Amino acid sequence: MEYLGEVETITNDGKIVIRAVTTPSNNATVFDHRERRIGTVKRIFGPVDSPYVTVAPSEKGNLNGLLNKKTYYKGENTHAKGKRRY
């Protein structure tokens, strides 16, 4: 797992916005400091030096406890397993 950044805000529609230190790939899994799954990366935007990452949470619970917390990510497996040729 690699360090992603700190949670900046929670949007009105339930998405989590993180100020990223590194740029993860889309659909990367995001975890909190206790290694609990938060959700997946859906959108990367902002400046190249320090982008923002939008995360779709895996469960719609109370997300306000995540504000200013450190987050980590694990990239998706990009090996050929699971890909099909047609």
Domain residue ranges of the chain, discontinuous segments joined by +: 2-73
Q: In this predicted model, what pLDDT tens digit does every residue of 67-86 receive, in sequence order?
A: 999 999 997 655 556 556 66
Confidence band for 62, pLDDT divided at 50, 70 and 90: confident
Main-chain dihedrals φ then ψ at residue 6, nearest 5 degrees: -105, 150
Q: In this predicted model, what pLDDT tens digit does every residue of 25-57 receive, in sequence order?
A: 989 999 999 999 999 999 999 999 889 999 999
Confidence band for 10, pLDDT divided at 50, 70 and 90: very high
More reliable by pLDDT, 64 or 41: 41
Return the CATH number of the domain spanning residue range 2-73: 2.40.10.230
14-52: string of b/e by CB count within 10 Å (b at 16+)? ebbbbbbeeebeeebbbbeeeeeebbbbeeeeeeeeebb
